[in-house]
Amino acid sequence: MTTLNILWNDLVATPRNVRKVKTGIESLAASMASDDGQIQNLVVVAREDGKYEVIVGERRRRAAVHNVKTKVWGRDATLRCELRDGQNATSISYAENAQRENMHPADAIRAFATLKAEGYTEEAIANRYHYDLVEVDKMLALAALSLKVINALAANKIDVACAQAFTLTGDHKRQERILKRYRTAHEVRRALTETKVTTGHRLFSFVGMDAYQAAGGTITGDLFSPKGEGYADDPDLVQRLVDEKLDALAAEAEARGWGEVIAAENTPYDSYRWHRLYPDQETRTLSDAEEAFMDELQEKREARIAELFAALGEDFDLEFDEELREIEAQIDRIGTVERDYSEEAKRGAVLLIVIGHQGKADVTAYTRKAPRSTRSASGSDSGTGAPRPLYDARMTEELSRMRTVALQAEVAKNQHLANAVLLDALLPILAESHPDAHAVQLRASTDIQEPAQHFDYNTREMSSPYAGVADLIAGAPKKAANRFAWVLALDDADIARLLAACTAALIDGRHAKYADPERLRSVDRIARAASLDMRDHWEGGVEFFGAITKKAMLAALTEACGPAAAENCEKMPKGKLAEACAERIPGRGWLPPALITPDEPEVEPEDEAEPQDDDGEDIDAGEVEAVDECAFAEADNDPDEHFAVAAE
């Protein structure tokens, strides 16, 4: 093997190179033109005409040509090359390209971290290596992650998308805490943005970025979002601005004469029963040119009418003259016509203003007179809507999922209760054609098999319904035919244990936004039977209190510690207030409403069956009374007859 310095112009491409696609020539040329220069030799074979075919290093050859043509290098530039035997050229090319691997993303991230540490700015890195500045910012954001996250990427425990999700926070401790629990981009992104509102959300679009930032709101940018979205850090501020804007729109509509205005985030459920109101008046606007043309058309119309009157006298119908109909059609088309509501129509109507999917205010008029108690969704003095709940739907569902896990564990430990729960769920299948919803769902949900995702550090030891039968489950065959034979061979005790665990795992107590009330009442019945007390399983911590509103925190302080404690903390910023709640409330037995099992309601009376005649037809109550009276009247004289009739 011989090493030569060969003039750039004496190097030519070879058809024997197995890599045909050449990319990134300009960035490679810039790298070779820097202080680093040529790092790796080219591999060439000699030709009879004095030229050298490049077997390995075609991109470097093209980069050198680019530097010479752009006058970065002089025309006397040379490249270091290894001269090889031409007989092995193709095998050398294949071996070099087949064995080449792309740099691991973790190595690339560490390289950018080194460049940043050496003092290179984003612009310097972009110019030196011909990267887009946005891509440099993304790589540097990844380079700023916790070393534990980068090491997890290097060990292939997480993928690049997951690492990108960690850039939503610069807190390394929080990144490492999330890393212990989640390994997918979706889970990490959800955990880091649970208490935030995406800037693509319709409520944020309704408020607008300018209004949010003018009110002091801050944004967490997401460099890796395909739409360039980010997250509003203060959802309470977003909600306040939404309420204020809805109130302003409602006040503006009332000032325009609308008798009733409903301004809400969502369309009221019963609005499908309302009747649409359509504009009842028109306003025609004419420009100066259209005014002149209108006068001309009116003159033509009058002239045609006079002409018809002279020819036909009074006995003619204007509708049968084509020329006159064409003139009138032109008159109808001229100008800009706007349809609107009269003042009288607005006074007797209701105007509904809701926030659409794109964040725009959708306005619809109805003839139905809506109750004034639903006018505004803000709950402020300017509107009369119901106040917003202390806990949003997402938090309520999250807490109810923790309660579900605890309830499953309690039922799994009590075989008699588990059998009763299962039988209670199965009986309606035999007895009723349309049974009510039940806590036991026929398919177990993976979402409720583990403790809560976001507040599991607030839970105490919470066992799984499978914990008591882990030994049996481990020995169960995977294939259905083998599993059935295995079940048949179990003794009654093991069957009872497995049945209790499986029944418990089927319980779904999640309180989602549109949860069936009958199912939730069934969950409460089982919880009372199991004597479920969530104080044994959960206690609020700083992460939980930081995820709810200040109003909810102050309400919790009032319930747990008294009004004076809430008054003392009322002016604290949200972060400090969460810490105060986490310090003062634990140990006092306080629970949020979603974790409390309600008291047992009064027993519902069973519906009495309607009496039927011999043919199976229902008998009217009046007829029953008449028949009874006649029967007992006839049997009055004979006690035996009396009892015989009564028995019938």
Taking residues 345-353, what's their average pLDDT?
Answer: 90
Taking residues 380-401, what's their average pLDDT?
Answer: 64
CATH architecture of the domain covering 2-98: Alpha-Beta Complex (3.90)
Q: What pLDDT is stored for residue 314 in this prediction?
A: 66
Domain edges within the chain: 2-98, 393-538+591-595, 608-648
Residues 602/603/607/608 CA torsion (nearest 10 deg): -120
Q: What pLDDT is stored for residue 647 in this prediction?
A: 37
Q: Which residue has the tokens 């031409």?
A: 86
548 CB-side CA count, 13 A: 29
Contact 29, 66 (CB under 8 A): yes
- The chain-wide mean pLDDT, for the chain, equals 78
pLDDT in tens, 145-169: 999 999 999 888 899 999 999 998 8
* pLDDT at residue 533 greater than cutoff 60: yes
Q: In the chain, what percentage of residues exceed pLDDT 70?
A: 76
Taking residues 307-336, what's their average pLDDT?
Answer: 77
**Measured between alpha carbons, how far is 520 from 528 in angstroms, rounded to an integer?**
12
Q: What pLDDT is stored for residue 335 in this prediction?
A: 76
pLDDT in tens, 370-386: 444 444 444 444 443 44
Q: What pLDDT is stored for residue 292 in this prediction?
A: 87
Q: What pLDDT is stored for residue 151 in this prediction?
A: 92
| Single-letter residue type at 578 | A
Q: What pLDDT is stored for residue 506 in this prediction?
A: 80
* pLDDT at residue 458 greater than cutoff 70: no
Q: What is the DSSP letter of 381?
A: T
Q: What pLDDT is stored for residue 396 in this prediction?
A: 82
**Measured between alpha carbons, how far is 260 from 255 in angstroms, rounded to an integer?**
11
Phi/psi at 354 (5° precision): -130, 160
* pLDDT at residue 263 greater than cutoff 50: yes
| Single-letter residue type at 590 | W
Question: Of the given ranges (222-236, 300-314, 316-330, 423-437), which has the lowest mean pLDDT?
Answer: 423-437
Q: What is the pTM of this model?
A: 0.45
Q: What pLDDT is stored for residue 629 in this prediction?
A: 41
Q: What pLDDT is stored for residue 436 in this prediction?
A: 64
Which parts of 168-327 are beta strand (E)? 197-198, 219-221, 230-232, 260-264, 281-285
**Measured between alpha carbons, how far is 29 from 130 in angstroms, rounded to an integer?**
9
Comparing 607 with 111, which gets the higher pLDDT? 111
Taking residues 449-460, what's their average pLDDT?
Answer: 51
**Angle subtended by helix axes 133-143 and 105-117, to nearest 10:** 90
Comparing 385 with 46, which gets the higher pLDDT? 46
Helix, strand, or coil (residue 303): helix
User: Exposed/middle/buried for 210, CB within 10 Å: 0-12, 13-18, 19+?
Assistant: exposed
Q: What pLDDT is stored for residue 642 in this prediction?
A: 36
pLDDT band at 144 (very low <50, low <70, confident <90, very high): very high
